Amino acid sequence: MSDSPFLVVSHLVKHYADDRVGYTALRDVSFSIQAGEFVAVRGPSGCGKSTLLHVLGAMDRPTTGEVLLAGRRLDRLSDVELAVVRRRQVGFVFQAFNLLPTLTAVENVALPLTLDGIAVAAANKRAGEALGEVGLAARRDHYPSQLSGGEMQRVAIARAVAIRPDLVIADEPTGSLDSGNGTRVLELLSDLNRTRGLTIVMATHSADAAAFAERTLQLADGCLVESNETQPLDAPV
Ligand X SMILES: Nc1ncnc2c1ncn2[C@@H]1O[C@H](COP(=O)(O)OP(=O)(O)OP(=O)(O)O)[C@@H](O)[C@H]1O
Q: Decide whether 49 or 140 has the Cβ nearer to ligand X.
A: 49
# residues near ligand X by CB under 6 A: 12
| Residue choice 47, 48, 50, 68 for contact with Mg ion (CB under 5 A) | 50
CA distance to 104, 129, 140, 152, per residue, from 146 (Å): 9, 20, 11, 9
Question: Using the rule CB under 5 A, is 51 a contact of Mg ion?
Answer: no
CA distance to 1, 50, 72, per residue, from 169 (Å): 21, 10, 17
Question: Using the rule CB under 6 A, is 216 a contact of ligand X?
Answer: no
**Three-class HEC string of 128-154:** HHHHHHCCCHHHCCCCHHHCCHHHHHH
| Beta carbons within 10 angstroms of residue 50's beta carbon | 20
Q: Decide whether 87 or 205 has the Cβ nearer to ligand X.
A: 205
Beta bridge partners of 3: none
Which one of ligand X, Mg ion, none interacts with residue 2, CB within 5 to 8 A by kind?
Answer: none
Piece of the chain touching Mg ion by CB under 5 A; list 49-57, 70-78, 179-187, 218-226: 49-57
CA 151 to chain centre: 17
Q: Decide whether 47 or 123 has the Cβ nearer to ligand X.
A: 47
Helix, strand, or coil (residue 41) = strand
Q: Decide whether 155 or 170 has the Cβ nearer to Mg ion.
A: 170
> Rounded to the nearest whole angstrom, what is the least distance from the CB of residue 48 to ligand X in the complex?
4
Asked whether 26 and 51 are in contact (CB, 8 A), the reply is yes
Q: Decide whether 96 or 120 has the Cβ nearer to ligand X.
A: 96
Question: Using the rule CB under 6 A, is 23 a contact of ligand X?
Answer: yes
**Best CA proximity match to 197, nearest among 36, 65, 22:** 36
End-to-end Cα spacing for the chain: 37
> Rounded to the nearest whole angstrom, what is the least distance from the CB of residue 231 to Mg ion in the complex?
24
Site string for ligand X, 25-64 (x = CB under 6 A): x-----------------x-xxxxxxx-------------
Give the nearest residue (CB) to Mg ion.
50
CA distance to 45, 59, 61, 78, 87, per residue, from 83 (Å): 28, 8, 12, 9, 6
> Rounded to the nearest whole angstrom, what is the least distance from the CB of residue 25 to ligand X in the complex?
4
Binding site for ligand X (CB under 6 A): 16, 18, 23, 25, 43, 45-51
